[in-house]
Structure 1
Amino acid sequence: MLQMVCLPGLLCDTGVFDPVLAGMDEPAQVLPVPRVASFDAMVAQIVAQLPDAAVLVGMSMGSYLALAVARQFPARVKGLVLIGTTAAADTPRAAALRVKVAAWAAREGEAALADSVADSMLSPARRADPALRATIRRMTESQGVDTFAMHQAALAERPDQTAALADILCPVLVITGTEDTSTPLGAGRAVAETVPNGRFVALDGVGHMPVLETPDLVARHLRTFLDDCLTLEDQAQ
């Protein structure tokens, strides 16, 4: 039986998916991102917790991890939902910037880090939303600057997964906000167009965190995708 497994993004705890899952009847397991500084170690720890047949739903960093799991363990993954994603590795400049940002966060503290995340990850129309900013502040405090630094190090070393996209045969849904400046539309569309069975959805006016900005819309796309995956699974049996 298929089971939905969700993977949060950078500085996000498992509660980041609560608004989406509240609009769905399907059960889901939300795994915390392992607190290690190695991308490969993250993948290994996630795989150890996966059911035999999973539909992986990853946002941001979680989407990079979900992609890696599907690439390395294709028999375990029956569907992929990638929210705010890219298959590319960091450029040397981007990797170096992660080190600087981690050092800045350690110096300035969690409140400043949370404000920076809200200002850069939310769409311009939602950046002043007090509830969204409070959620980001709560998650930042729950993760802490030490975990942030570890995860930035892991992201800086992650591999480029572009060449492996053609080998991912399960259904793939890519969701990207049109106001996402971290993983722009072109990055997500390239993933959806390169995998053999991909679908791309652009959410108008949404930033890098659709699970917080438009959870009902994300839930609707998820329900449709899960129904399709269940139909394919039934046909294969």
Structure 2
Amino acid sequence: MAETLVLVPGLACTARLFEAQIDALSSSRNIVVADHTKDDSISGIAARLLKNAPERFSLAGLSMGGYVALEVMRQAPERVQRLALLDTSARPDTSEASQDRERLIAIAQAGRFEDVFPMAWARLVHPDRQSDKALQEVVFGMMRETGPEAYARQQRAIMGRADSRPLLPGIEIPTLVLVGEGDVITPPEIAREMAEMIEWASLVVIPESGHTSTLEQPERVAHALKLWLEEG
């Protein structure tokens, strides 16, 4: 039976976030993209993922998807064969970040969801990609597909996430920690902190990439994931 890889997208992202990696990796494994739009807690999203996943699987999440992946490791670590944490953090939300999320939720729920788009874009991508209209349309298209209601649920889930740092030393499976070198949301020092706390972790820093590494440097990320999947 082919191995299953479960992918968990980030906030206001869809399967398009991993489109290039799915194309590169799907020939030899089953790939499933988890639904992270229906629950307003990270624990609820993780429980839904586990309900729909096979008994054993590899797991990769980007940003919010990484928060979900760590919660899966809290709920059912014995079911995960390999773990990849992409452009994410094990830390809980700060009070400042939560206040900003509340502000964005209010804008979205006031019927001005598209006003959120440029605010997100400014921090999502590497400075060299700020004028990349094709990439911008992919990001904005995913946000439109997500919609304001699911976006609000996701933001509330992120605000309520647990501190996963105490969990990290107990992770004893091949783990990839990957981050864009220009990620300002979850910067390389946050990735390095996680990698240093997980015994079997490999740290990969992707050059010329911001927070959306799978879109900004798709081939480099696919290569890193391929090497991770081929580990023992």
Alignment TM-score, normalising by the size of structure 2:
0.94
User: How many Å separate the matches in 1 of 2:150 and 2:37?
Assistant: 9
Question: Aligned-pair distance for 1:95?
Answer: 1.7
Q: Which amino acid aligns with 1:37?
A: D
Question: Aligned-pair distance for 1:108?
Answer: 6.2
**Alignment-derived partner of residue 101 in structure 1:** 104
> Aligned pair count?
229
**Alignment-derived partner of residue 24 in structure 2:** 23
Match of 2:185 among 179, 182, 187: 182
Asked if the contact 2:37–2:146 (Cα under 8 Å) also holds between the matched residues in 1, the reply is no
**Alignment-derived partner of residue 160 in structure 1:** 163
User: How many Å separate the matches in 2 of 1:16 and 1:158?
Assistant: 22
Q: Which amino acid aligns with 1:150?
A: R
User: How many Å separate the matches in 2 of 1:132 and 1:124?
Assistant: 13
Following superposition of structure 1 onto structure 2, how do residues 211-226 of structure 1 map, counting pairs within 5 Å?
A: 211-226=214-229
Alignment TM-score, normalising by the size of structure 1:
0.92
Asked if the contact 1:34–1:45 (Cα under 8 Å) also holds between the matched residues in 2, the reply is no
Q: Which amino acid aligns with 1:60?
A: S
Does residue 1 of structure 2 align to residue 4 of structure 1? no
In the superposition, relative to structure 1, how do residues 191 and 6 fare at CA in structure 2: closer, same or farther (>3 Å)? same
User: How many Å separate the matches in 1 of 2:6 and 2:106?
Assistant: 32
User: How many Å separate the matches in 2 of 1:110 and 1:19?
Assistant: 27
Asked if the contact 2:93–2:161 (Cα under 8 Å) also holds between the matched residues in 1, the reply is yes
Does residue 120 of structure 2 align to residue 87 of structure 1? no
Q: Which runs of 5+ in 1 are unaligned?
A: 233-237
Q: Deviations over 1:97-135 (max 9, x none)?
A: 211121123336233222222221011111111111111
In the superposition, relative to structure 1, how do residues 140 and 89 fare at CA in structure 2: closer, same or farther (>3 Å)? same
User: How many Å separate the matches in 2 of 1:12 and 1:26?
Assistant: 25
Asked if the contact 1:113–1:140 (Cα under 8 Å) also holds between the matched residues in 2, the reply is no
**Alignment-derived partner of residue 200 in structure 1:** 203
Does residue 77 of structure 2 align to residue 74 of structure 1? yes
Question: Aligned-pair distance for 1:209?
Answer: 0.3
**Alignment-derived partner of residue 50 in structure 1:** 53
**DSSP 3-state at the match of 2:179:** strand
Q: Deviations over 1:175-232 (max 9, x none)?
A: 101110110111111111101111101111210001110111111011111111xxx2
Structure 1 segments (4+ residues) deviating >6 Å: none
User: How many Å separate the matches in 2 of 1:43 and 1:136?
Assistant: 24
**DSSP 3-state at the match of 2:178:** strand
Asked if the contact 1:9–1:62 (Cα under 8 Å) also holds between the matched residues in 2, the reply is yes
Match of 2:154 among 142, 151, 159: 151
Asked if the contact 1:7–1:63 (Cα under 8 Å) also holds between the matched residues in 2, the reply is yes
User: How many Å separate the matches in 2 of 1:72 and 1:196?
Assistant: 20
User: How many Å separate the matches in 1 of 2:28 and 2:5?
Assistant: 8
RMSD: 1.4
Same amino acid, percent of matched pairs: 30
Asked if the contact 2:125–2:209 (Cα under 8 Å) also holds between the matched residues in 1, the reply is yes
Does residue 210 of structure 2 align to residue 227 of structure 1? no
